[in-house]
A and B are shown apart, each in its own frame.
Chain A
């Protein structure tokens, strides 16, 4: 059941003056919800475009369902990728877009699309050109959900959606996913909002994958230690430090390590406070730490940044 359905090997996408993708290797298995996280311009959309053969890699290989998706109907018919800036035919209304999708996706559920349109209060008979940003996002979200494609990409699907509509999307996504398992790749920079949905997290920064791990593992993988600066620094000496904040004589330091039970007890005895690190904080810290240590591998950056501070 859990076989590999997406595989990227040494993907490079070079534009004139930057590498949008810089040697990306990635392997995704079936029936999971993936989060593709990263800053704007990190390469999220480029990666998804290349996987779905909407764009072309400079070099490297992208396999979906074991083959290149380019001009491959057998593969393409199982993929749905409505981009954030998706264009629609000039005279189209949302209902036309939905009927189009129904022509191409064998699992299309029109009833589901209708219910979603109602949930999102989408005027299905208004020209798409005239829709607000949020309503435009809703059109894409509905196509993505109701198509029930085996591999579905959501490209920053929440743009312009209000908090209620975003929550509706997350709820419907989880409900429908549990009834109809499939592989979902959710590209986002609103990490806290989607953190609970994700089973696996891929973080991309400046064209490079800097994190690729199970969401459960990540949740316990870092910890913030706070207390008197002296004690904190002594306790954490030699560890992979992601971030350090000080306020007077107090320090709050995030380490990219798991503490053992003994270490936790020790910390408590020293009067230090331990707190979990949210996925968003972790991604932000890792991205920023990576930016501070250009040219070094992701494993060494923390030590470098720590040394730089001393």
Chain B
């Protein structure tokens, strides 16, 4: 247990990687969005997509934790299990912290009528329309998803190299296209559309969480045989 905790602490030794940079990216994106909102002379609510900016950095962090932090952890004789649990724990912690930040931002944003310029950065149509726990669940799961998908692809790469990554990416694409073709063939798009229309942010979070768990479990089985 203490070694698992130490894995998380190890990756926080340089505060910039997991804390400094996400906050910097968020702040920069927020200020730029605000400047743009202020330039648009409309008194109706304005929405921007800038709040997704840190998510892409999380994808990179997910990849790097596998390609760089994992080999380093092997050098310090850390078991793969401790590395996995510690890193995933760290992801959860960061996602949780960011979710809290987004929620607080959302409350402030509403209280100040969109920061005085009718600009909405943390409030996103549909996503933040439901109760607070639905919004929180959505933010948290999406952030975790970005970490885990990066981590998962990187484990595939570490284990099976470029060809393995290519095969799994192409395989996923082919499976999705096949699924789409099947839907067309069975004239099922109406049902699919209906299904999506019925989803709420909370149920989407639920599905994404299931996908996260599957990918996380998959990463672990791959990681157990990965070499640095």
Chain B residues positioned under 8 Å from A83 (CB to CB): 75, 228
Determine how close the nearest CB of chain B comes to the CB of A150; give it in whole angstroms. 11
Which of A55, A77, A80, A89 neighbours the largest number of chain B CB atoms within 10 Å of its CB? A89
Cβ of B38 < 8 Å from any Cβ of A? no
Q: Give per-residue flags for A50-71: 1 if the beta carbon is below 8 A from chain B beta carbons, else 0.
A: 0010111000000000000101
> At the interface with chain B, which of A90-98, A196-204, A269-277?
A90-98
Chain B residues positioned under 8 Å from A79 (CB to CB): 77
Give bound CA distance, A90 to B225, whole Å: 23
Partner among A49, A86, A93, A104 whose Cβ is within 8 Å of the Cβ of B78: A104
Q: Give per-residue flags for B7-49: 1 if the beta carbon is below 8 A from chain A beta carbons, else 0.
A: 0011101101100000000000000000000000000000000
> Are B13 and A54 interface neighbours, CB within 8 A?
no
Give bound CA distance, A52 to B71, whole Å: 13
Chain B residues positioned under 8 Å from A54 (CB to CB): 74, 227-228
Partner among B72, B79, B224 whose Cβ is within 8 Å of the Cβ of A88: B72
> Are B79 and A71 interface neighbours, CB within 8 A?
yes
Cβ of A5 < 8 Å from any Cβ of B? no
Give bound CA distance, A80 to B3, whole Å: 15
> Are B14 and A89 interface neighbours, CB within 8 A?
yes
Cβ of B186 < 8 Å from any Cβ of A? no
Chain B residues positioned under 8 Å from A56 (CB to CB): 225, 227
Chain B residues positioned under 8 Å from A99 (CB to CB): 13
> Are A104 and B72 interface neighbours, CB within 8 A?
no
Give bound CA distance, A96 to B13, whole Å: 6
> Are B75 and A89 interface neighbours, CB within 8 A?
no
> Are B76 and A89 interface neighbours, CB within 8 A?
no
| A83-B75, A89-B11, A103-B6 as given contacts; A71 in contact with B81, CB under 8 Å | yes
Write the chain B residue with the least CB distance to A69.
B77
Give bound CA distance, A73 to B81, whole Å: 10
Which of B10, B68, B75, B79 neighbours the largest number of chain A CB atoms within 10 Å of its CB? B75
> Are A55 and B227 interface neighbours, CB within 8 A?
yes
Cβ of B124 < 8 Å from any Cβ of A? no
> Are A89 and B227 interface neighbours, CB within 8 A?
no
Q: Give per-residue flags for A92-129: 1 if the beta carbon is below 8 A from chain B beta carbons, else 0.
A: 11001101110111000000000000000000000000
Partner among B69, B72, B77 whose Cβ is within 8 Å of the Cβ of A77: B77
> Are A76 and B77 interface neighbours, CB within 8 A?
yes
Interface of A is mostly: loop
Count class of interface residues, chain B? 20 to 34
Cβ of A72 < 8 Å from any Cβ of B? yes
Determine how close the nearest CB of chain B comes to the CB of A36; give it in whole angstroms. 17
> Are A87 and B77 interface neighbours, CB within 8 A?
no
Write the chain B residue with the least CB distance to A80.
B77
Count class of interface residues, chain A? 35 or more
Give bound CA distance, A88 to B76, whole Å: 11
| A73-B82, A89-B69 as given contacts; A81 in contact with B75, CB under 8 Å | yes
> Are B68 and A104 interface neighbours, CB within 8 A?
no
Cβ of A82 < 8 Å from any Cβ of B? yes
> Are A97 and B80 interface neighbours, CB within 8 A?
no
> Are B68 and A90 interface neighbours, CB within 8 A?
yes
Chain A residues positioned under 8 Å from B80 (CB to CB): 71
> Are A81 and B77 interface neighbours, CB within 8 A?
yes
Cβ of A241 < 8 Å from any Cβ of B? no
Cβ of B203 < 8 Å from any Cβ of A? no
> Are B72 and A100 interface neighbours, CB within 8 A?
yes
Cβ of A225 < 8 Å from any Cβ of B? no
> Are B64 and A76 interface neighbours, CB within 8 A?
no
Partner among A73, A91, A100 whose Cβ is within 8 Å of the Cβ of B76: A100
Write the chain A residue with the least CB distance to B74.
A54
Write the chain A residue with the least CB distance to B227.
A55
Partner among B14, B17, B64, B76 whose Cβ is within 8 Å of the Cβ of A80: B76
Chain A residues positioned under 8 Å from B64 (CB to CB): 89-90
Chain A residues positioned under 8 Å from B14 (CB to CB): 89, 91-93, 96
Instruction: List 23 A-B pairs, Cβ < 8 Å.
Output: A54-B227, A54-B228, A55-B227, A71-B80, A72-B79, A73-B3, A73-B79, A80-B77, A82-B75, A86-B72, A86-B75, A87-B68, A87-B228, A89-B14, A89-B68, A91-B17, A92-B14, A96-B14, A100-B10, A103-B6, A104-B77, A140-B75, A149-B77
Counting from the closest, the 3 A-B pairs by CB-CB distance are: A87-B71, A76-B77, A103-B6
B→A interface (CB under 8 Å): 3, 6, 9-11, 13-14, 16-17, 64, 67-69, 71-72, 74-82, 224-225, 227-228
